[in-house]
Amino acid sequence: MLFVNRDIVEKELLMKNCIDLMRKTLIEYSRREAIQVLRTAMKIGEKKILGVMPSALTSRQVAGAKIITVFPSNYQKGLPSHQGVVVLFETETGSLKAVVDGEAITGIRTAAVSAVATDALAREDAHILCVMGSGLQARRHLEAISLVRKITEVRVWDIDKAAAALYAKKMQAKYGIPVYDCGGDPERAVSGADIICTVTAARQPVLFSRYVSLGAHINAVGACAAADRELDTELVRRARFFGDSIESVTRESGDFIIPLKEGAIGEGHLLGEVGQILSGELPGRAAPEEITVFEALGLAVEDLAAANYIACRVEAKQTKGGEQ
Ligand SMILES: NC(=O)c1ccc[n+]([C@@H]2O[C@H](COP(=O)([O-])OP(=O)(O)OC[C@H]3O[C@@H](n4cnc5c(N)ncnc54)[C@H](O)[C@@H]3O)[C@@H](O)[C@H]2O)c1
Consecutive 10-residue averages of pLDDT for the chain (324 residues): 97 98 98 96 94 96 97 91 97 97 98 98 98 97 98 98 97 98 96 98 97 98 97 98 98 98 98 98 97 98 98 94 62
- Other CB atoms within 10 Å distance of the CB of residue 163: 18
- Under 8 Å CB-to-CB from 120, ≥6 apart: which residues? 274, 277, 278, 284
Domains detected in the chain: 2-106+301-323 (3.30.1780.10), 123-298 (3.40.50.720)
CA 142 to ligand 1 center in whole angstroms: 14
Cβ(86)–Cβ(65) below 8 Å? yes
pLDDT at res. 33: 95
Is any ligand 1 atom within 6 A of the Cβ of residue 60? no
- Does the Cβ of 193 fall within 6 Å of ligand 1? no
Distances in Å between the alpha carbon of 221 and those of 17, 94, 96, 311? 21, 33, 31, 27
Our answer on whether the CB atom of 136 is closer than 6 Å to any ligand 1 atom is: yes
CB 121 within 8 A of CB 284: yes
- Best of 50, 167, 206, 221 to mutate for ligand 1, by most ligand atoms within 8 A of CB? 221
User: Which residues are within 8 A (CB) of 77 and not within 5 positions of it... i.e. 6 or more apart?
Assistant: none
Predicted pLDDT of residue 323? 56
User: Ligand 1 pocket check: which of 6, 25, 81 to mutate, most ligand atoms within 8 Å of Cβ?
Assistant: 81
pLDDT at 324: 46
Expressed in angstroms and rounded, the spacing between residue 194 Cα and the centre of ligand 1 is 21
Say yes or no: CB of residue 82 within 6 Å of ligand 1.
yes
Q: Which amino acid is at 287?
A: A
Q: Which atom of ligand 1 is nearest to the CA of 299?
A: 3
**Residue of the nearest CA to atom 31 in ligand 1?**
202
From the list 218, 216, 244, the residue with the least C-alpha distance to 231 is 218
Contacts of 3 (CB under 8 A, 6+ apart): 98, 99
